[in-house]
């Protein structure tokens, strides 16, 4: 548990540093350069526009700046006319959220507008600072947040590669466990494999989020413009990995059904499941390899093709249970996904199966 927490902290050090630098810099610009007397919204906007989440920072920053500006302006305008108090806060929040919803249908804008209006109506009443200064402070904070995110970036490829490698590592082990469970005809062990496979969706979601974040960093940060092609290749693996995970779950469910009915899966089919575990490992190594290192996509594709050649439909010619034939179909579908992880287009991957019927 301590190791997990330390690793989580380690992976968050760069985002934490970004937020800290952006907050201090936003205050400096607003207070020391522009001489705003209470630039509260500058560091708040800077931190909120960055946060610990790396995805959708550009959109989040724009929504935050617009939302805070609406809240400030509406709050200043309304509170100046009707004063402060409980019912006045109700009116201010309703007015700010209504304007924000009219401007944009996203969830963040109304929330930011309401929060800013409440601050104006309570902690920062109008009169001490001009309303436009608060809006300018929010703009400064949001822009500085984006600037710091671009100049002090997280490596856009590293997180996505790590996520993908972690998923492939998990399914390498699960494939080998499933093969062993089928050899032993161990129903409980097959069910455990299925349960663990079902619990990996959060990892898939994390991969997609980090792929999106990597593309944003690759777009905004000049330091990583040269990495855009590599980011594109990594991003192209997200859907095939997701599909491979889903197909593996289907394979495991069919295997569980066979085991529950006392059907012994044929040894050649179990060997293919075992080999797929080795393919997951090859693809994991491919993800972590630096450009020019092995295995590359071509190496991985060759490894997958070698298993495709053994997963011929003729393996199902002598099976007695139709579900075992369906299991082979799902295994072949899983191999298509793995070919796509290795860089093949879907049409080319399916063609490989047709060549090896």
Sign of the Cα pseudo-torsion (32, 34, 35, 37, in order): negative
Residue 253 included in any domain? yes
pLDDT value at residue 52: 45
Asked whether residue 256 carries a pLDDT value surpassing 80, the answer given is yes
Q: What is the CA 240 to chain-centroid distance, rounded?
A: 15
Q: Helix 346-355 vs helix 322-341: angle between axes, to the nearest 10 degrees? A: 130
Whether residue 3 is contained in a domain is answered as no
Same domain for 53 and 98, yes or no, is yes
235 and 348 in a common domain: yes
176 and 143, same structural domain? no
Last residue of a domain, one of 151, 174, 196: 151
Are 285 and 269 in the same domain? yes
In-domain check, residue 6:
no
Asked if residue 8 is part of any domain, the answer here is no
Greatest mean pLDDT among 39-48, 87-96, 314-323 lies in: 87-96
Identify whether 5 is part of a domain: no
Here the CATH number for the domain that contains residue 300 is 1.20.58.220
Q: Could you tell me if 147 and 291 lie in one domain?
A: no
pTM of the model: 0.67
From residue 299, give the alpha-carbon distance in Å to each of 131, 153, 209, 272, 304: 62, 31, 28, 19, 9
Are 196 and 79 in the same domain? Answer: no
| Segment holding 291, helix H or strand E | none
CA 198 to CA 260: how far, in whole Å? Answer: 19
Helix (H, G, I), strand (E, B) or coil at 85: coil
**Last residue in a domain, options 86, 119, 151:** 151
Are 196 and 344 found together in one domain? yes
Q: State which of 151, 178, 200 marks the end of a domain.
A: 151
Q: How far apart are CA 194 and CA 149, in angstroms?
A: 40
Q: What does the DSSP 8-state code read for residue 106?
A: S
Of 268 and 108, more confident: 268
Average pLDDT over residues 226-232: 70
Number of independent structural domains in the chain = 2
Ramachandran assignment for 56, one of left (phi > 0), alpha (psi -120 to 50 degrees), beta (any other):
left
Q: What is the pLDDT of the chain when averaged over all its residues?
A: 82
Task: Tell me which residue range forms the domain holding 315.
Answer: 156-355
pLDDT (mean) for 306-312: 89
Structure tokens at 56: 């959708």
* 124-138 per-position pLDDT tens digit: 655 555 557 777 888
């Amino acid at each position: 548990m301590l190791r997990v927490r330390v690793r989580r902290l380690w992976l968050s050090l760069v985002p934490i540093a970004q937020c800290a630098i952006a907050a201090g810099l936003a205050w400096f610009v607003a207070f020391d350069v522009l001489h705003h007397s209470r630039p509260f919204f500058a560091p708040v906007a800077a931190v909120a526009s960055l946060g610990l989440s790396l995805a959708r920072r550009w959109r989040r920053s724009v929504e935050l700046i617009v939302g805070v500006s609406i809240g400030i302006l509406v709050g200043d305008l309304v509170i100046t006319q009707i004063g402060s108090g409980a019912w006045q806060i109700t009116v201010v929040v309703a007015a700010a959220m209504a304007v924000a919803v009219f401007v944009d249908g996203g969830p963040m804008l109304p929330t930011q507008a309401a929060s800013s209006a409440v601050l104006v109506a309570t902690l920062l009443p109008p009169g001490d600072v001009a309303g436009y200064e608060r809006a300018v402070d929010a703009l400064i904070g949001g822009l500085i947040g984006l600037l710091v995110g671009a100049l002090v970036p997280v490596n856009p490829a590293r997180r996505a590669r790590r996520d993908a490698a972690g998923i492939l590592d998990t399914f390498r082990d699960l494939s080998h466990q499933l093969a062993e469970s089928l050899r032993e005809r161990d129903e409980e062990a097959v069910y455990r494999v299925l349960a663990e496979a079902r619990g990996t969706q959060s990892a898939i979601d994390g991969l997609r989020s980090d792929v999106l974040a990597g593309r944003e960093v690759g777009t905004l940060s000049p330091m990583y413009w040269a990495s855009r092609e590599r980011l594109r290749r990594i991003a192209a693996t997200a859907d095939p990995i997701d599909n491979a995970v889903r197909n593996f779950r289907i394979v495991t469910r069919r295997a569980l059904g066979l085991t529950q009915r006392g059907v012994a899966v044929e040894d050649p089919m179990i060997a293919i499941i075992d080999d797929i575990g080795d393919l997951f490992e090859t693809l994991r190594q491919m993800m972590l390899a630096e450009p020019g290192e092995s295995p590359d996509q071509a190496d991985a594709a060759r490894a997958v093709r070698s298993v495709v050649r053994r997963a011929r439909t003729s393996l199902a010619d002598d099976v007695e249970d139709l579900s075992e034939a369906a299991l082979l179909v799902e295994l072949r579908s899983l191999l298509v996904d793995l070919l796509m992880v290795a860089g093949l287009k879907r049409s080319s991957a399916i063609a490989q199966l047709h060549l090896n019927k």
